[in-house]
Structures are given as structure tokens and as C-alpha cells.
Structure 1
Amino acid sequence: MSRLSPHPLLALRKSRDAGRPVGLVSVCSAHPLVLEAALTEARDSGSVALIEATCNQVNQDGGYTGMRPDDFSARVRALADLIGLPRDRIVLGGDHLGPNPWTRLPAATAMARAGVMVAAYVAAGFEKIHLDCSMRCADDPAQLTDALIAERAGQLCAIAEQAAARLGTTPYYVVGTEVPPPGGAIEVETSLAITTPEAVRDTIGLHQDAFSRHGVATATARIIGVVVQPGVEFGSTSVHFYDRAAAVALPPVLDEFPGLLFEAHSTDYQRPGGLADLVSDGFGILKVGPWLTFAMREALYGLDAIRQAATPNSPMLSTTMERLMLARPAYWQRHYAGSEAQLRLARHYSYSDRIRYYWDEVDAQRAVTDLLSADYAIDETMISQYCGHIYDDVRASRTSSDPRSLVLASIGKVLSAYRLAVTGTLPL
């Protein structure tokens, strides 16, 4: 595949170093509707689609989506071809690549499997590789040292470099782990500890040393980003918003490392101005995932209510999803607490959006297909009642009022907020 020049990830670094910070929206989702919305938004805005998969979503064992890295790559590229987005405007990324899916195993076994996964990601055309070995394996001490985390990342980097050399490709790396694990935090603290400048310097230095020990010192020049905690996170019903005054010590650190960017995880549900502030402060990559499937679920449940109003006694998508979540509670049980009524609300409406783990279930796919293809009237008044967040888009003819278009518009509304923030054109 031909590639834009300079590479979009390098263009981010160049722009930051020139004093013109811009960013990329990193879409972390495997759902076809979210991917379609993201690729369409990139096409229409003339921008690059950065699409990422996590180690739990996609790995050589299938992950919770049932997809291997080559399956995910094929899904994204096939959708892009249908939509008309050139493939050279797609960047695929692997997020939290490390032993996390196999932490119940001894470290040597888990790391061997992580190595297979990283090689598979590179072989499938993933160019942005976030190495994260902060997870404790079965025979590890209670607390991993930063040096051990970096050493394991160096081990995986060597495997990635070998896979890339066989293919003649060039991976770019992100290091650092001061964020919740893939899938989200179990609970969110009242206040968040913002990464210190000293921790940033240590993370970079330890990873550079580890890469060198594993014979891939040249890869240190391709470390494009470091993951830090700027004070943003979300829980079941609350959001920690970005406060640039509280994180004021972080941006100057980048001046010590030309060509390096910060990567912000868990930026979902941030205010538009906060997203723009993150970009200005050196966070060139803003990751978003649950907010996109949250917006998708909002539209689907709105359509569910519209269909019930139009054709009473129709099957309800929400009923199907409740049944699936109760039958397999592992994906939400540790994340939600409270009475039965509170748990029921959290399963469907939580910011944490643990319902996203169930959309790939056969019964869920069948119910969504039925909802999107059913014949029921969707008047503007019903959109106002049940899909109010996209009512203005319908009235202004920015989107059609058929079910599929309404769902894509709901997801697109979130993506548009990110696009405005990362390109510096946020309205005052």
C-alpha cells in the first residue's frame, strides 16, 4: 500500500515541533457501524482515519470480537473501499499490546503469546504499536518495576522489528502505561494522579535503554508518543474533565524530547474545549472508544422506542441486550455496583458502556439488523422525542431520517467534535 508523505504520525510530530500543534483522533472500536462512521468522516473531511484495536478485542485467539489482526485489517480496508476512502489515508494501530489477555499464565508463557500477537499485528499492516507490559502475570511480584515493564516492551519491540523487516514496513511506537488497563478502570477515583515530569523522563529513558539492549536501538527514533495521565477519565456516571492548569507541568517536558508527543487515553465524554486544550498542550493523539458505542446505543435505543410507539408489541432491542448481559455477566459485573435497579441502569446507560462487549453476539446482531430494516414511520416529531441529540441534523438535512443514517449521524456527531478539536477550528 502506498503511503502519504510524510507519514501522518510523523506529520503530527513535525507540526508540534514547529509550534503548530494538531492532532489525530484515534478511534478504538471494532463495531462495523462505528468504523463506517469514522471512515466516512475521514473521507468527507479530507483527513486521516486512525483506527485502533486493543489486545483484548483482537488477537491471535480471536479476542472478544472473534477477530485476529488480519481479520480486523481486512474489515477496515473493505469498508474503506466501499465508502471511497483511499487506503493510504488509513493508519491502523494496536493498543496495549502486551500480555494482558494471558495474565493468568506465568510471565514467560504470557510474553511468548504477546510476542506472537505483536508479530501478527505488524504482519496485518498495523503501523502504530503501543507496547504495554504493565500487567502482572501469574508468577510476577505484586508490583512490577518500571524497569521490568520497559524490559518486556523491549522484548516485544524486537519481535515487531523482525516482523517488519520481513515485510519491508516501518512501525512507529508508543510507550507508557499510566492509564487504566484495556477495557477501562474498575472504578474511578475521586481525584486522579497526573503523571509527573520525572515519570515521563524515566519512562522514555527506560524504554530507550531496553530497546537498545534488545538490539533495536534504531527503533527509539520511531517512538512517536508516550502515554501519560493528564487527569482525564470517566466512570459509570461521572467524568473527570481536563484541567490544563492542573497539568501545567507536563507540556514543557516535550521540549526536552523533540519529535515526541503525548497520547491521551480515555478522552471520552470530554468537553470540546477540553479536547482542544489537550491538543494545544501536546497531546497529539486523542483516543476515543466507549463514547462512540455509547452514541450508537443512544440512537439504537431511540429507534427502539420509536418503533414501539409506531408498532406496539414489536420486539425490543433493549430486552434482547438485557438478556444477553444477564446470561454472561463477566464483562460488566466487576465494573458496576449497587442495587438491582442501579445495576440494570448501569448495564444499559453507563458511561463505561460495558454493553459494547455484547454487540457481536449473534442475537444482538440479529436484533440490530431487524431494528434497522423494519418498516415503521419515523417522523421528525419522533426523532425530536427519542433522538433529540440529532434532531437538528435531520431538520437541517445534514442527515436522512432512515434508521441507519440516524445511527451513523449519532456516532458522527461525536467524531465531529473531535475533528474540530484536533484541527484547531473549534468554534468560540
Structure 2
Amino acid sequence: MAAVERNRRIALAKLFGSKDLPLPRGITSVCSAHPLVVEAVLRRAAREDQAVLLEATCNQVNQEGGYTGMTPADFRHFVERIAVTAGFPVDRIILGGDHLGPNPWRKLPADEAMARAEAMIVAYAEAGFEKLHLDTSMGCAGEPAGLSDALTAERAARLARAAEDATRRVGRKPPVYVIGTEVPPPGGATQVLEELEITRPEAVLETLAVHRSAFVAAGVEPALARVIGIVVQPGVEFGNANVALYKPDRAQSLVSALDAMPGLLFEAHSTDYQPAGELSALVDGGFGILKVGPGLTFALREALYGLDAIRREIAGQAASRGLPAVLEEVMLASPGHWSGHYSGTATEQRLQRHFSYSDRIRYYWLDRQVSNAVDRLFAELPGRIPETLISQYLSRLYPKVVAGHVAPNARDLCLAAIDAALAPYRIATARR
């Protein structure tokens, strides 16, 4: 394991760059565009005097706006505005781009989809994103769903060349890269999870070899020194109703592949809902970057629904229509973000819309009707919510409230709920 630890430190040092901070064992990569999630992450990092890694995905943020309506430059400004509010130094924020490739345009012919993917990665590079995950594994119109390793690597190298050219043109520091695509589907699986197939070590070594060849052929050989990690499947995933926990003994062969990859770490996707012990074991196994997203907005939704129940208790007969009802109406009117992910009876689909681990409800928080409903909820709650009602409806937060660590108001309770979901990651990644 000495080689694994050495590799992890080398890779993290490249990710941290010139930031004058002690290196942690690993780092949490937060993939969310919800302002309360970003604020909670920054406030925790400020308390702990740490850097943060915040990532945007290709569907969420791109040169055409993505589903958030934000370009990469917009996302940077969005994060930095929150950082000022949270009192967090912007120079300690590492921005990353996740699954950068043709996925948002995969229904188009490959030439057009890749041209748009190039424009996207240029926008990320020009906006100063320091970590770029190259994911060109998906087939476009007329192609098979999954592409060969050689073609995937060729397209990834093409995107790396575009990013390298863009950073040089605008005078930005060149980014670090993560390669590899053997990951759970974005947002988690839709089926009940059984035992997952773990990436074979020979497949990892082949991924690295074909990408090295492709980068050289594309004329971006210097970028190879800034490839810090590979995405693999360690047996970690979540579905709508259950979570596949990490089992270190099943991943021993995969972890051993790091011995033949000096200076590289593994990046683990879909680590949401893993307990602290499993997250720590992932870091021990060379997974120096732990990605999380839906698990944080899941915790936020729990807090908001608990607050809505408290509001109804306080208002009694005079209570207005609640937040869950507004979300149900909006999700039924615009089913694009969930209809292909939830199945079963009408009742089963309704429960999944609100309570699924895959948390497709997260796509609706920025909808105007929903954000207005959240604002009304906060306005209708008292500035000091009774502790007894917090005990009843937000019991996980109750001990911190009575101890005086969390103020009993709606906003602070939401931030505390997100922070509680982040806590296992701190345990796993902190220096020992």
C-alpha cells in the first residue's frame, strides 16, 4: 500500500497546484449547483482551513447553458459570489468539469457532437477550471452505444488538445486531467442493485496505454504529465431504493493495478450514501477523489420536507399548500428529468419522485415555482423554531440544536443537514 499512498500524494499535489495548504489523504469532489449545497461545502472548508473541489457536469453547465442555464464562466461567478458570503478565499476553490464530452449532443452525428464538445471544453478551460474529466465513451447518432477504447481515447485526446490550446491562448494555468469512463450511470442506477462488476486491472492498464498513445498522436504529450487519475468501478453505486457498499476485499486486484501506474490515483463516482468506514477504505485503496452530489441534495430535501411539516403543525388549519405539493405539480408538468428513470405503479413512481436515492428531484429546485415555494416556506416559519418540533421532524439535527451548535431557524437547519451528509467525507479524507 506504500505505492498507493505515494501515488495518491503525487496526484493530489498536482491537483492542489500552488495552493499553500497541507495535503489531505483525499479530497471530496462535490457535484452540485444548488446554492445552499455550495455554501455548506464552503463553510465547512472555511472551518477546517481546507481547499474545496467543486465540479460541474457537461449536462448541467456548458457553453449553451445546460439545464442550469449557466456557462462555465457563469458557474465560476456563481460559486465565487457564494464564497464571498461564506467568507471563504476564492483562491482555495478548485473548479472541475465532469464527464466532458459529446454526451449532451449524442443524438447528433459524431462530427457535430464532437465539435460542440470541443467548444464546451474550451469554455471550461477559458473560465479557469483546473480539473477536467474527459469522457468520450458514448456513441453518437449511428454509432454503437459504447465505443472502442481506441476511438474513445482518440476523441479524449482531441478534447485535451482543445483545452491545452485554450489555456495557452488566454494565459491560464494548464489543467490536470482525469480519464476513464467505467462508472455508474450519471445520477445512479435505475434497477435494484445486486453485486456489481468491478473494473478488471488489465482494463485499467489498457485504458491508460491507449490514452497515452492517443495523446502523443494528437500532439499533446506534455498533458500526459498532468493526467492525475482514472475513473473505474470499485463496486460502489446507488439505485432508486438501495445502495451498493464498497467491499475492499472484492477490489484488491483493481487496487493492485496502481502499482503499475506511478503518480496516478483512482476517482470514485457515485459514492453518495457510503458510510464513513467505506469511504475511508476507498481512500486507503487509492481512491483519492470521492465524488458526491445527489446525496447532498437528498439531505437538503429531507430538511426542507421536515420544515414543511413543522410549518403545517404551527399553521394548523390556516396552512397554505405545502412544498411537496408544489414539487409534485412541477415534476408532473415537466417529467423530462425523471420519467426515464422511475418505473412501476403510479404510487411507486410518486414515491420515487420525492424519495429516491437517485434524487431526480434535484433538477427542479431552481425552477421558479419551486424556489418561490421554498422562499414562502422560510418566510412562514418563525425565526426560532421550537426545539420540540425539530426533535419530531428533524431529529438528526436536534442534538446540535440543543447543544447550541446550530441555530433553530430554517436556513441554518438546511445548511446543517447538508453538512451532516458531508461529515463522513471529512472523516475519510482528513490527514491522520
Q: The TM-score by the shorter chain falls in which range?
A: over 0.9
Give the match for residue 395 of structure 1.
402
Give the match for residue 26 of structure 1.
29
User: Which blocks of at least 5 consecutive residues in structure 1 are unaligned?
Assistant: 1-5, 15-19
Q: Separation in 1 of the partners of 2:363 and 2:129?
A: 23
Q: Separation in 1 of the partners of 2:236 and 2:150?
A: 26
Q: Separation in 1 of the partners of 2:31 and 2:124?
A: 15
Q: What SS is found at the alignment partner of 2:230? A: strand
Give the match for residue 204 of structure 1.
208
Instruction: Pick the aligned partner of 1:294 from 283, 292, 298.
Output: 298
1:174 offset after TM fit, Å? 0.2
CA deviations on 1:117-157 (whole Å, 9 max, x unpaired) are 00000111100000000111112134411111111101100
The two structures, once aligned, show a CA RMSD in angstroms of 1.8
Q: Separation in 1 of the partners of 2:66 and 2:389?
A: 38
Give the match for residue 335 of structure 1.
341
CA contact (8 A) 1:8 1:48 kept: no
CA deviations on 1:257-314 (whole Å, 9 max, x unpaired) are 2210000000000011000000011000000000000000000000000000000222
Give the match for residue 156 of structure 1.
159
Give the match for residue 244 of structure 1.
248
Question: Greater shift after overlay, 377-386 or 176-185?
Answer: 176-185
Q: Separation in 1 of the partners of 2:182 and 2:24?
A: 23
CA contact (8 A) 1:187 1:335 kept: no
Alignment partner of 1:361 is 2:367: yes
1:48 offset after TM fit, Å? 0.9
CA contact (8 A) 2:188 2:240 kept: no
Instruction: Pick the aligned partner of 1:423 from 411, 427, 430.
Output: 430
Q: Separation in 2 of the partners of 1:185 and 1:239?
A: 10
Q: Residue type matched to 2:197 in 1?
A: A
Alignment partner of 1:83 is 2:86: yes
CA deviations on 1:160-206 (whole Å, 9 max, x unpaired) are 00011112312000000001343433435422110011011011111
Q: Separation in 2 of the partners of 1:49 and 1:119?
A: 23
Alignment partner of 1:382 is 2:389: yes
Q: Separation in 2 of the partners of 1:173 and 1:322?
A: 39
Q: Separation in 1 of the partners of 2:190 and 2:179?
A: 22
Residue 140 to residue 62, structure 1, CA distance change in 2 (3 Å): same
Give the match for residue 113 of structure 1.
116
Alignment partner of 1:224 is 2:228: yes
CA contact (8 A) 2:276 2:424 kept: yes
Q: Residue type matched to 1:94 in 2?
A: G
Residue 132 to residue 119, structure 1, CA distance change in 2 (3 Å): same
Q: Separation in 2 of the partners of 1:401 and 1:8?
A: 41
Give the match for residue 217 of structure 2.
213
Q: What SS is found at the alignment partner of 2:198? A: coil
Residue 121 to residue 188, structure 1, CA distance change in 2 (3 Å): farther
Give the match for residue 71 of structure 1.
74
Q: What SS is found at the alignment partner of 1:229? A: coil
CA contact (8 A) 2:11 2:228 kept: no
Q: What SS is found at the alignment partner of 1:299? A: helix
Residue 283 to residue 21, structure 1, CA distance change in 2 (3 Å): farther
Q: What SS is found at the alignment partner of 1:96? A: strand
